[in-house]
Amino acid sequence: MKSFFAALLLAPLQIYSQDVDASDILFLKIQELEGELASLRSELESQAYLIEKLLNEGANQEESNASLGSEIQSEVSTFRFEGINDSKSIDEVYDQAIFELNEKDFQAAKQSFNYLANNFNDDEKIPLSLFWLGEISLLESNLEQSENYFQRLASDFPDHWRTPLAHKKIGDILSMSGDPGAAKIKYQFVVQTFPDNTASSLALQLLENME
């Protein structure tokens, strides 16, 4: 009997002890999870810092490589193009000039076309370069320079397919320069000399407008 009452007295203590143990375990688990979260947060921050550092280093390296590549390309280009009249060099310079023209970087295009026209010999690319130099100069309202380029094209490459238009452009420049009489003579020359060319049709329309 005594042992029965003793068991009854001890039962609440055991229950309380179990409750305390469960609470302690839960608290310890929470502390453990918080510690793990803090560790993960710290690790993530460290990883983020390392990633950012690597990205910055990569960007700096790319800029350095690009700068070095540009310097090397410039040196190679200078070495290659200077005094070498091979078709590959001509094509590369001309393609670069056309790219700059399409990008509306007229000063760079003018420099490239000038370099090509003054350093190489080619019956197709040189007259085309002179034509575009005339067009760029005309766009810049530099009429005298534009006329010089078109005149050079017409005189040095009389059989090139751009020559009729070059003559017509000279007529345009004469007209813009306030010399309609000379412009009319040039237009008539184009109509008579290149009757089947588009430049002739354009010149004929201008002649009709001048009547």
Q: Model's pTM, two decimal places?
A: 0.61
Tokens linked to 119:
């350093």
Q: How far apart are CA 46 and CA 206, in angstroms?
A: 75
Spatial contact of 74 and 109, defined as CB atoms under 8 Å apart: no
* Location of structure tokens 């010999």: 121
Is the same domain home to 100 and 203? yes
Is the same domain home to 64 and 120? no
Longest CA–CA separation in the chain, Å: 142
Give the count of domains, the chain.
2
Q: How far apart are CA 207 and CA 211, in angstroms?
A: 7
Is the same domain home to 190 and 96? yes
Question: Does 86 or 160 have the greater pLDDT score?
Answer: 160
Is the same domain home to 57 and 160? no
| Proportion of the chain above pLDDT 90, given as a percent | 56
Domain hosting residue 124, numbered range: 89-210
100-124 pLDDT per residue, tens:
999 999 999 999 999 999 999 999 9
